[in-house]
Amino acid sequence: MTPGPLDTLRRAFVGGGEPLVAGSTCPSAAEIWDAAHAELDPARAREIVRHVATCAACAADWHLAMRGGERPAVAADLRPPRSSAVARWVRLAGAAAVLAGIGWLGLQGVRERETPPVFREGAGAAEIRALVPEDRPLARDGALLRWSALGEGARYTVELSAEDLTPLHTAHGLAASELEVPPEVLSRVGPGEAIVWRVEARLPDGTRVSSGAFVHRLE
Amino acid sequence: MEPLADRSSDNVLRQQLAREVGRYCPARLRGSADDIVQAAWLRLDEARRRDERNREPGASFLAKVAYCATVDEIRRDRRRREVSVETLESTALERAPDDVLRAREIGRGIRDCMITLVPNRGLAATLFLLGHSSPEIGRILGWSLRKTENLVFRGMADLRRCLTSKGITP
């Protein structure tokens, strides 16, 4: 048996074929509605979603609630402003400058903003960042995913998914901080659709560092 | 405040309510649709009596009232029947029995796996499976978009791994 595409998982999760019996601990219809429309305190919403995760009847009720009313508004402040990335680099630059010496402070700050990041093995601030511009479509031929290196000896695993998070490709044990995506993998993604990828690094001391999820649209 | 029944806009409101109930009411309960509309109407009347500012109910509120009345009837029906009431009847009931059994097995597998996931990843995967986008999930659960995207990605990856370990392999 295969879970297949996301639609199959979704249909199965929302009560597909399951006898639906609501229990005494099920949240009220009003609470499910409010949670589904982001009109509930997030802490209470989390409790309800925790219940919905294991209750087929409430999953079906939640799904029904999504048919009506307005979908949860997306607040602009949920998307991190571009300046936050700059601010993070400024903070990193500052930390590096302190380590390098007070005399280098100003110069180091400028350099960190202008040059690709270099992270030290085992450093507390180790972070994997995509080095492929997310605002430009990715070419299908020779699509190259690049990310910030975590130093000598690091080995990388890259997981690549379609926009609906259906797995497309996984590459293990990469020594280089880049991956050329096989064209046959991208043939399963339509023009203008997105791919999602993330990187996990294993450092020589056994430390694991995971990136966030990066999203790129294809040509 | 005068009773709703005396207001000239009652018919319009009632028609709107009936349309909303029609949106949520599963086929097997269509015979009870009038009763559900009446139950929704009483809820609306009650809410308006409590509203000291005597405001006209908005479309979103009407939708919520209709939804709540319908789901309460669905739940009563489930208790009466103690058998499957498909919210997605139009698709699920038309499927072949094998497909229903397969969906049931996958659904149970998902729910079993959800218990084992890191809590926040499980929450994110749950809402993703329900069809919410990452920004919506962040809004509902009070997370930043960045955090939400990561948790959705990892939650779905963990879920697929768990399903695979149960023999439900991609």
Q: How high is the mean pLDDT in each 10-residue block of chain A (219 residues)?
A: 68 74 82 96 97 93 86 48 37 39 37 34 62 84 90 91 83 92 88 87 85 83
What is the model's pLDDT at position A105?
Answer: 36
What does the pLDDT average to over B18-23?
Answer: 92
**Which pLDDT band holds residue B56 (cuts at 50, 70, 90)?**
confident
What is the model's pLDDT at position B99?
Answer: 76
Closest chain B residue by Cα to residue A159: B157
* CB atoms A17 and B115 under 8 Å: no
pTM strictly above 0.80: no
Q: CB contact, 8 Å: A20 with chain B? A: yes
Contact by Cβ (8 Å): B72, A22: no
Fold of A126-219: Immunoglobulin-like (2.60.40)
Q: What is the mean pLDDT of chain B?
A: 84
Q: CB contact, 8 Å: A102 with chain B? A: no
* CB atoms A8 and B153 under 8 Å: no
Partners of A218 in the β-ladder: A138
Q: What is the distance between the alpha carbons of residues A117 and B136, in angstroms, rounded to a whole number?
A: 32
What is the model's pLDDT at position B7?
Answer: 58
* CB atoms B144 and A15 under 8 Å: no
Q: What is the secondary structure of A3-29 as a DSSP string?
A: --SHHHHHHHHTTTT------TTPPPH
Q: Quick one: which of A194, B132, B167 has its CA closest to B155?
A: B132
* CB atoms A60 and B60 under 8 Å: no
| Per-residue pLDDT tens over the stretch B106-152 | 999 999 999 999 999 999 999 999 999 889 999 999 999 889 988 99
Q: What is the mean pLDDT of chain A?
A: 74
Domain ranges of chain B: 4-81, 95-165
What is the model's pLDDT at position A4?
Answer: 47
What is the model's pLDDT at position A51?
Answer: 95
DSSP state of B27: G
- When comparing pLDDT for A80 and B154, which is higher? B154
What is the model's pLDDT at position A174?
Answer: 94
Most A CBs within 10 Å, among B88, B152, B165, B166, to test the A interface: B88
* CB atoms A20 and B144 under 8 Å: no
> Integer distance in angstroms from the first to the last C-alpha of chain B?
60
Q: Which contacts qualify for B125-129: CB closer than 8 Å, 24 or more apart? A: B125/A53, B125/B152, B125/B155, B125/B156, B125/B158, B125/B159, B126/A49, B126/A52, B126/A53, B126/A59, B127/A49, B128/A165, B128/B152, B128/B155, B128/B156, B129/A9, B129/A10, B129/A13, B129/A14
Domain ranges of chain A: 10-65, 82-115, 126-219
* CB atoms B163 and A196 under 8 Å: no
Task: State the smallest CA–CA distance between residue A129 and chain B in angstroms.
Answer: 13
* CB atoms B66 and A68 under 8 Å: yes
Q: Count A/B contacts: CB-CB distance under 8 Å.
A: 225
Q: Quick one: which of B7, B108, B96 has its CA closest to B57?
A: B7
What is the model's pLDDT at position A6?
Answer: 83
Closest residue to A1, CB basis, from B105, B127, B144: B105
Contact by Cβ (8 Å): A13, B107: yes
What is the model's pLDDT at position A101?
Answer: 39
What is the model's pLDDT at position A25?
Answer: 83
Task: Tell me the residue ranges of DSSP E strands in chain A.
Answer: 144-146, 155-162, 167-174, 178-180, 194-202, 208-210, 214-217
DSSP state of B142: T
Q: What is the distance between the alpha carbons of residues A66 and A69, in angstroms, rounded to a whole number?
A: 7
Q: CB contact, 8 Å: A198 with chain B? A: yes
Q: What is the distance between the alpha carbons of residues A182 and A144, in angstroms, rounded to a whole number?
A: 9
Q: Quick one: which of B35, B44, B36 has its CA closest to B12?
A: B44
Q: Within chain B, what is the greatest distance between any pair of CA atoms? A: 63
What is the model's pLDDT at position A17?
Answer: 60
Closest chain B residue by Cα to residue A163: B153
CATH of B95-165, one of 1.20.1250.20, 3.30.420.40, 1.10.10.10, 3.30.1490.100: 1.10.10.10
What is the model's pLDDT at position A125?
Answer: 52
What does the pLDDT average to over B51-60?
Answer: 76
pLDDT above 80 (res B40): yes
| Per-residue pLDDT tens over the stretch B66-106 | 999 999 999 998 888 764 444 444 444 455 567 778 888 89
Taking the CA of residue A67 as centre, how many other CA atoms within 13 Å lie in the half-sphere pointing to its CB? 20
Residues of chain B contacting residue A160, judged by C-beta atoms under 8 Å apart: none
- The gap from C-alpha B116 to its chain's centroid, in whole angstroms, comes to 24
What is the model's pLDDT at position A109?
Answer: 38
